[in-house]
Structure 1
């Protein structure tokens, strides 16, 4: 089971590298590249629907996207579940549905519902510590598979509430049963993250998302004792840039001859779709005629 795979990765103490995705195709590409797990990114999923990352999509819409990723890959899917889609009762239903559909883990953040993307200017309102710890306890009490992973995401640094508040929340969430702690920052260098990991004396694995501090490399991450790094939106952002450039070229050049040299072939598309495997199965099971006497 994928839950067991993710649990074993966490228990291994090795660095786990996770790539953000938004559908089955992007998840499959991440697996082929060699990432350990997939982040079913709320930002990416909402962007593909062309709506803001602010709880506009429902839990069911996000889950359906994650299901397509799970079906297309053999590695664990960790789902970005915002602030749990509501109160503790929403969290309980969410855990049941995500676990029932084969997800390896979820991540919920300690912002009030509806949340606002962490990198957008605007009020980042946090849920009181005890209230969010209750969500963590509810999630852990609800899960049926002991290997299912619940990650608590701390937004205190995003909200400008400082290191001590982030540490207070980390200890409370670990005590509530969180399997890992995601510490988030929007600073352009990793000083807040470094200060947190150097001050944190808990035992829960630390997860980071280095979107705004991209110079932090794998060796540094490992040396700081961080166990999970999530590249949460790079697939989406690279595909947007590539599509815009291709579309602009086609209009400018008046044909597709030039862009054909710079885009994937139809054969590559068919391979990713499983088209050739489908035809092999057709040939295998259609080649023998069955006769009845």
Structure 2
């Protein structure tokens, strides 16, 4: 099956599909190596890697180029985080084919205003567009795709914005009616209670997508038991792991005034060269360099 078909099949079967965030091709390769089913092309992680806020500071082209680079070195489906769609329904109509051509198997689009503010920022500016306007953006995305198995996921930020369960359910059902293949419901509460309440009340037919960043105590076993969730996204763990490891290593080198204590704990240069695809390049050399 193609990458698109594998993601679509997982959603249709309600077999839990796990996606790990990535901010560059190397982190995506490591996620695939670890055994995740897919890659989350995270806008938050990419923004962090550029040391700018996750607030549509980076251009759509920068994100698109990174998604293309990630898709080119991985064999598992890529779910691209396109924030608010980089504009209105007209922008969405032009953007979605570009992501499909770049190798993404899905896009996730959220119902906040442009420019957005990151969902988990304390006291962030969380403003939602009109329900009807976002329905139009979802419909435009569905119409713009060329492969029937390409997945369009609608993300409602109703709970993030503090608008309550009724508004979240109303919007999610409206987005399903507009053609969304799945609904991502997000929360920044430190326990999963708010999310569990939404899942229990969900009467739609499309699967849900969860991002348990704020409530890590909800395990995959717990999520599978809910019966309504198709995808779980680990939304920022690659960049957080990288930052933590680099801080520790850099501080140790400064302390020791040398690398004598950190070097034994680091992956070898040989391993990094392997991850760069050196074996493939050597094979090409053997075949064609005469």
3-state SS of paired residue (1:227): strand
Among 258, 263, 271, the residue aligned to 1:255: 258
User: Which residue in 1 is equivalent to 2:175?
Assistant: 173
Task: Map Cα deviations across residues 161-208 of structure 1 (whole Å, 9 max, x no partner).
Answer: 000000000110000000000000000000010000000111111000
Instruction: Provide the residue aligned with 1:135 in structure 2.
Output: 137
Using the alignment, how far apart are the partners of 1:122 and 1:240 within structure 2? 23
Aligned counterparts of 2:280 and 2:105: Cα–Cα separation in 1: 27
What residue in structure 2 maps to residue 83 of structure 1? 84
1:285 shift after superposition: 2.9
Superposed counterparts of 1:189-228, under 5 Å: 189-225=191-227, 226-228=229-231
The match for 1:73 is 74
**1:224, CA displacement in angstroms?**
1.0
CA distance in 2 between counterparts of 1:238 and 1:12 reads: 32
2-side partners of 1:60 and 1:73: how far apart? 20
Q: Aligned to 1:137, what secondary structure does the other structure show?
A: helix
Distance 2:74 2:55 in 1: 27
CA RMSD of aligned residues (A): 0.9
- Give the distance between the partners of 2:191 and 2:237, measured in 1 at CA: 18
Match of 2:279 in 1: 276
Q: Does 1:246 align with 2:249?
A: yes
CA distance in 2, matches of 1:130, 1:197: 23
Q: Which aligned segments of 4 or more residues in structure 1 are displaced greater than 2 angstroms?
A: 283-286
Note the alpha carbon deviations across 1:193-234, whole angstroms, 9 max, x for none. Answer: 000000011111100000000000111101112221000100
Where does residue 97 of structure 2 map in the other structure?
96
Q: For structure 1, which runs of at least 5 residues remain unmatched after alignment?
A: none
Q: Is 1:34 the counterpart of 2:35 in the alignment?
A: yes
Per the normalisation by structure 2, the TM-score is 0.97
**What are structure 2's unaligned runs of at least 5 residues?**
none
Q: What is the CA–CA distance in structure 2 between the aligned matches of 1:277 and 1:144, rounded to whole Å?
A: 32
Match of 1:57 in 2: 58
CA separation in 2, counterparts of 1:124 and 1:105?
A: 24
Question: Using the alignment, how far apart are the partners of 1:237 and 1:176 within structure 2?
Answer: 35
Structure of larger gyration radius: 1
Query: CA offset at residue 80 of structure 1?
Result: 0.4
| Contact kept in structure 1, 2:67 and 2:102, CA below 8 Å | no
Aligned length: 287
Q: Compute the displacement of 1:122 (Å).
A: 2.3
